[in-house]
Amino acid sequence: MTKITACIFDLDGVIVDTAKYHYQAWHKLAIQLDIPFNEAENEKMKGISRMDSLEMMLALGDKTYTDIDKQKYCAAKNTWYLDLVTDMDQSEILPGILDFIAHLKEEKIKIALGSASKNARKILNLVGLTDSFDDIVDGNDVVKSKPDPEVFLKGAALLKSKPTETIVFEDSAKGIDAAVAGSFRTVGIGQDIHLGHADIVVENLIGMSISDLSKRLESKS
């Protein structure tokens, strides 16, 4: 059976459902900049940095701005996003997460957060999950954005785990790309249409166990 010693979780769309808030904030900016933007375009931004997301949006409208303007727009989007998440609490934790984290702790599996978001620690504090993770790596700790594996490799290094013995849980295609590039085992949270290149794709983590996931990963080896 595949030996699993650690798990690394993305935040948005895996631990909590903040995608809707990101979409609302980006949509507000898109309207301001007169750029066509919808939820399908927002899906493509999942898992990547704020600046890379802005560049994708500007390309949609064939817009060109100075670096100073880009920083201003990123800051505005982040301010709107933080205003939207201010009232988040444990009710926004996605189904199955709390039980699965408790299960991993019982099984002595080390866990870390690996997120592109620079607001990851704030979100974890709001929903009361900060102390549930052995280590946290977010957008403030890395230079390269997904699909580069830096965020996951740093997480594995902190946990002292080998990538081949570590499962990355991701809801974005670029996040899965990053995990694959780092030689991690991968579980996609969502639909095959977006995450079919993950080792396993599940709708959520309700009722999941590390032994079940290990068996399913073994069948993919």
Annotated catalytic residues are 10, 12
96-120 burial, b at 16+ Cβ within 10 Å, e below that, comes to bbbebbebbeeeebbbbbbbbbebb
* Beta pairing partners, 185: 167
Cβ neighbours around 57 below 10 Å, total:
24
Residues 118 and 141: beta-carbon distance below 8 Å: no
What SS3 state is found at 204? coil
Query: Mapping DSSP to helix (H, G, I), strand (E, B) and coil, where does residue 112 land?
Result: strand
Distant-in-sequence, close-in-space partners of 193: CB < 8 Å, separation ≥ 6: none
The most distant pair of C-alpha atoms in the chain lies apart, rounded to whole Å, by: 53
Q: 7: which strand partners?
A: 111, 167
Residue 43 makes CB contacts below 8 A (sequence gap 6+) with: 194
